[in-house]
Amino acid sequence: MVAGCAGRQDDFIPPSPNDEAYAPPELDYQVTRVSKGSLYTGTTSMTLFQDRRAYRVGDILTVLLDEKTESDKSASTQYGKDSSANITAPTLGNKTFEDVSASVDATRDFDGAAASKQGNSLSGSITVTVYNVLPNGVLRVRGEKWLKLNQGDEYIRLTGNVRVDDIQADNTLSSQRIADARITYAGRGSFADTNTAGWLTQFFNSPWMPF
């Protein structure tokens, strides 16, 4: 029963590289054959004043990670309640039963307080690929970066929607300008395992623990 309550969740399963959900789109990269006597091809040539920013499926752009979140929450609750009840001695005929009279007094007080504070920050960069262009011109991008270290791997994954107008002239974009962003930064291996509590520890810290 303990193992069932504290089983390993899917969110804790280490990911694998080459996930199709973050892979670049499959495109036909065959070069169009140039007509005899012509040096121009519309698929690879660019005009003199053409914008070099990403705007087509298969184009790449660099996302500058600049994420910082902070949350601070506190709560305090106090209440009290006093109640009393008196039972008078009953009378039967001309006789009063004094021993049956009673009184009850009750007092309840509660004082509770809670505080929570959390902060996260992420900086760096990742280059992603445009895998779809919406009818309104918004680019859908995705990509991942894997770093192989001595004691394991670290990875960054990103998906989201980008406006072409938010892309800088050097083909970079702040992560704060990505809509519906999904940014994941985690690791796997022995170093990551040391920062993960064991299943028994997770059970004692879970809501199933009665104490």
The predicted-structure confidence for 96-117, as pLDDT tens digits, reads as follows 666 666 677 778 777 888 888 8
pLDDT tens digits, one per residue of 158-171: 999 999 999 999 99
Indicate the pLDDT class of residue 202, thresholds 50, 70 and 90.
Answer: low
Short-list 172, 182, 169, CA closest to 63: 172
Cα gap 54→140, rounded to integer Å: 11
The boundaries of the domain holding residue 104 are 76-115
Question: Is 131 found in the same domain as 107?
Answer: no
- Residue 38 placed within a domain: no
Lowest mean pLDDT among 73-82, 111-120, 121-130, 200-209: 200-209
Task: Assign 190 to helix, strand or coil.
Answer: helix
pTM of the model: 0.58
For residues 80 and 64, membership in a common domain is answered with: no
Residues 132 and 156 both lie in one domain: yes
- Whether residue 44 is contained in a domain is answered as no
Same domain, 151 and 168: yes
User: Does the structure show a pLDDT above 50 at 210?
Assistant: yes
Is a pLDDT exceeding 70 seen at residue 56?
yes
CA distances from 10 to 13, 14, 15, 36, 211 (A): 5, 9, 10, 58, 27
The set of residues, in sequence order, having a beta carbon less than 8 Å from that of 61 and lying 6+ positions away, is 53, 54, 127, 128, 130, 141, 162, 167, 171, 172, 173
Q: Are 132 and 179 members of one domain? A: yes
152 plus 185 within the same structural domain = yes
With a CB cutoff of 8 Å and minimum separation 6, the contacts of 64 are 125, 172, 173, 174, 175
Domains in the chain, number: 2
Residue 63 lies in a domain: yes
